[in-house]
Amino acid sequence: MSRLPIVFRLVLGPELALWAKAGRAPVLWWRDDDARAATGALEQLLALSRRHQAPLTLAAIAGPSLPLLVSRTETEPQVELAVHGFKHVNRQPQGQGFGEIIDSDDTDWIRAQLRATVMQFHRVGVAPTLFVPPWNNLKPQLLEVLPDSAITAVSGFDQASSERDGVKRLDAHLDVLRWKGGGRFRGSWRFLSRMRRLMIQRRKAGQWDEPIGLLTHHLDHDKATWLFLERFLATFRVTARRQLTGETAAPIEALSA
């Protein structure tokens, strides 16, 4: 533990020691949101993931640049593409938060949107099985249509993992950014203190293997965020999302044309 960066040691040291004593380590997975295109920031993210051999779930928006995004990521075996909403457009009435699906949307419309979006991925040779609703706004109507779709897992924010009608739920819990007044680094102390709380909950409940999800947004990272992630990923091992929800990757050849 002496090689841990000082702030990691100060905040997490005693808790990590308790885990080590029990022969355990936190189970982490990594979700990054809002990929639309192959950008410089995406290159930085992919290099980070490669450098630390950290499997990455990239929640991607199906737009005009999806083919290029796919051709850039298909040579990165540690990267999984997930569906990040239909168009990632906020449709909530003003003052009621953010979300793409609103209360008055019926399930037929949502089913059609989902099918069309997943089809956009299939057309460029990707078979996503995870859906990440924009702004983590998971509406009940969406959960209703998922069981008869190609999607087998969903990811929001801060809930425990679960399963409903054969669809797994695996959330993110640790947002590296804070959003009030524009996205910026949350700060090591705040981030790690939250991680300590999540670890204490899991240890006390004996749920050592309950995953903890790291959440990043590569387009919004400042220098301090990148630096922190470098240290974080050098310290902790990350598990692939598909492994945590009991899936193996579908071979591209198996996709329907």
Task: Give dist(CA 187, CA 73) in Å, integer.
Answer: 29
Which of 155, 257, 142 shows the shortest CA–CA distance to 214? 155
Give the pair of three-digit tokens for residue 55: 């499997």
How far is residue 43's CA from residue 184's CA, in Å, rounded to a whole number? 19
Indicate the residue among 32 and 34 with the shorter CB distance to Zn ion.
Answer: 34
Q: Lay out the site mask for Zn ion across 95-134 (x = CB under 5 A, - = otherwise).
A: ---------------------------------------x
**To the nearest whole angstrom, how small is the minimum distance from the Cβ of residue 85 to Zn ion?**
7
Contact yes or no for 238/214 (Cβ under 8 A):
yes
Distance of closest approach, residue 135 Cβ to Zn ion, in angstroms? 6
The answer to whether 229 and 45 have CB atoms below 8 angstroms apart is no
Part of the chain binding Zn ion (CB under 5 A), chosen from 31-39, 89-97, 103-111, 208-216: 31-39
For Zn ion, the closer CB: 32 or 33: 33
For residue 213, the minimal CB distance to Zn ion (Å) is 15
33 binds Zn ion (CB under 5 A): yes
Among 34, 80, 100, 175, contact with Zn ion (rule: CB under 5 A): 34
Q: How far is the CB of 34 from Zn ion (least distance, A)?
A: 4
Torsion angle, alpha carbons of 80, 84, 87, 93, to 10: -170
Judge whether 51 and 226 are in contact, CB under 8 Å.
no
Packing angle of the helix pair 40-51, 223-235 (nearest 10 deg): 20
- Minimum distance between the CB of residue 134 and Zn ion, rounded to whole angstroms? 4
Q: Shortest gap between Cβ of 84 and Zn ion (angstroms)?
A: 6
Helices 40-51 & 66-73 angle (0-180, nearest 10): 20
Q: Which is nearer to Zn ion, 34 or 175 (CB)?
A: 34
Q: Six-digit token pair at 62?
A: 């199906």
Size of the site for Zn ion (CB under 5 A): 3
Binders of Zn ion among residues 129 to 168 (CB under 5 A) are 134
Q: Applying CB under 5 A, which residues contact Zn ion?
A: 33-34, 134
